[in-house]
Amino acid sequence: MNYTNVFVRAGDGYAGWPEKAPFDAVIVTCAPDAIPPRLVEQLKDGGRMVIPVGPDGGVQELVLVRKIDGKVVGENILPVRFVPMTGDPKQ
């Protein structure tokens, strides 16, 4: 499809990708119990993140996170079930 501005990384999801930040948009494909602060920090002002949030093995919520004037605004989209996020949540 000739996209030139899409980057993918496999690693500790809680840490994000600080070397490439800040991001206009982030799509997370695994579910932490809560939104990792490091991921929010790596969003540009006006940036968006779509992330499933909730317990492993239970119903989670797909959340649209927007960073507006340095503040975080979250909007629940729909119930989902994703694999759990692994790594160190204390990052």
| pTM recorded for the entire structure | 0.88
Give how many domains the chain has, as a whole number. Answer: 1
Residues of the domain holding 38: 23-80
Report if residue 44 sits inside a domain. Answer: yes
CATH of the domain at 73: 3.30.505
Residue range 36-46, pLDDT digits in tens: 999 999 999 99
Average of pLDDT values for 29-37? 95
Report if residue 47 sits inside a domain. Answer: yes
Report if residue 46 sits inside a domain. Answer: yes
Quickly state the pLDDT bin for 91 (edges 50, 70, 90).
low
As a whole number of angstroms, the distance between CA 42 and CA 67 comes to 10
